[in-house]
Structure 1
Amino acid sequence: MKIEPNLRLPLSGRELLLAESLLFKGLEPPLLARLAAVAQERRFARNEVIFLEGDAAAGFYLVAQGQVKIFKTSLEGKEQILHVFGRGEPFGEVPVFSGQAVFPASAVSLSAADLLFFPRREFVSLISSSPDLALSMLAVLSRRLRQFAAQIESLSLKEVPSRLAAHLVYLAEEQGRSDCVTLDIPKGQLASLLGASPETLSRVFAGLSEEGLIRVDGRKIELLKYEALRGRQG
């Protein structure tokens, strides 16, 4: 069938995912089709290892469904979650562009997860021929750097109540509301993300509730005094 040059074919399911993702939003359909063609679908069960720190980094991933946690483990066996990624978010991309041969952290699926894997060689070839794709990568990596800088500052300079307040404000901004948020990970995982023990986090939740700032109902957190909560970020 002949296709008129001014008409566009509808995007496939994989291309729609790419078009909605943080990394590839705004790219033209022909480039999305080329990206979809090099991506490999991979499926992981809940709590399955995707890669470990030190594993060879032959490419990077993008979440199609589910959640993935990125973490490092200390010599004493303590886990520190660096980030939790959901649908449309890339991870493991830094080694691809930094020249590193291995992943600097580990990744495990928090739920059953469908991922797209982009092999390093094919993806770098696409970037070499597409300035728009290179700019998208630069924007995402810059955003990721700011997030990690904020996390390091929070873990090193702020007390746990301020870390939790900052995280709830972050969720409010991400979810587009200021009256309540829904935790996207279990409280045990959240404790690791905030660099606290589960017991300490429970006490901090209770303390903020007693102050009348929040009301906790499972994973639903009502933000009773949003501006006051923002002021507690430290």
Structure 2
Amino acid sequence: MVEIEELRTGALLSGLTEEQLVRVACHASRLRLDEGQLLFSQGDPAERFYLVLKGQVRLFRLSPEGTEKVIEIVTPGQTFAEALMFLNAPRYPVCAAALCPTELIGIDARDFASMLRDSVDSCFVLLGNLSRRLRAMIGEIDNLALHTATSRVARYLLMKLPAGRRTLDLGMRKGVLASRLSVKPETFSRVEKKLIELGTIEVQGSQVTILDQTALEEIARLGHSQELTLMPCASAARPIREQ
């Protein structure tokens, strides 16, 4: 049974009326995934979109060679695959799997789209959500095009650092994070080692402590020509396999 208050935790759904939330709940289902469990595969029919309640979901694509590229990490309160409801016979363009034990709600995409036809306000809520997602994707393209592997790692650490804190938890395996930042695992390890040697950060497992935030902010602004003497990896990253 899906509770209305659970639906309200999603930014996309929080603006719906009580009547609309009841309708969504009646057509929704609760799912629980174990760590590494696949939710759907690239090319599967997209009949539902999802709201994460607990845990994390990684969205990724597989190359013909089986190499995995992480597109996005979805956290509690976020929805994903909602834009597909506007396509005819949509199929998921990515795979989705749980990074850790995860609880989520599957929402009937066809019924939700039908509901939107009767509510202009709800359409604008959805458009706002999709616009924010688009801006984030543009920022991601800018990050990949204009920043080195080192600056991308530095920018990520600064972005995830809680306000007023010096320590953050990466929250995922470093291989997954490397793919999310579009760097090879070997490159990520060298960047991490270099930042440690510079006295910028300290690492204990998944815990990262920022020792010199000013220096890290400067590294985050470095252009391609200012890479910290890191050599590119010659070997291809090994694909991450489901357990």
Q: In which range does the TM-score fall when normalised by the shorter chain?
A: 0.7 to 0.9
Instruction: Select the residue among 39, 45, 57 that pairs with 1:56.
Output: 45
Instruction: Select the residue among 190, 194, 197 that pairs with 2:184.
Output: 197
Counterpart contact for 1:17–1:88, Cα < 8 Å: no
Partner of 1:115: 104
What secondary structure, in the 3-state scheme, does the structure 2 residue paired with 1:33 have? Answer: helix
Counterpart contact for 2:2–2:28, Cα < 8 Å: no
Counterpart contact for 2:2–2:30, Cα < 8 Å: no
TM-score with structure 2 setting the length: 0.82
Matched, 1:157 2:146: yes
Matched, 1:43 2:32: yes
Instruction: Select the residue among 60, 65, 79 that pairs with 1:71.
Output: 60
Q: After superposition, what is the alpha-carbon deviation per residue over 1:146-202, rounded to whole angstroms, capped at 9, x for unaligned?
A: 222222232333211111011112212xx4445222112111111111112222111
Counterpart contact for 2:202–2:208, Cα < 8 Å: yes
Counterpart contact for 2:2–2:105, Cα < 8 Å: no
Aligned Cα root-mean-square deviation (Å): 2.0
**1:87 is matched by which residue type in structure 2?**
P
| Long gaps (5+) in structure 2 | 222-243
What secondary structure, in the 3-state scheme, does the structure 1 residue paired with 2:144 have? Answer: helix
**2:32 is matched by which residue type in structure 1?**
R
Give the length in aligned residue pairs.
221
* Aligned-residue offset at 1:26: 4.0
Q: After superposition, what is the alpha-carbon deviation per residue over 1:77-125, rounded to whole angstroms, capped at 9, x for unaligned?
A: 2211011112121111221134462111111111222221111221112
Determine what percentage of the aligned residue pairs are the same residue.
Answer: 33
Matched, 1:212 2:182: no
What secondary structure, in the 3-state scheme, does the structure 1 residue paired with 2:8 have? Answer: helix
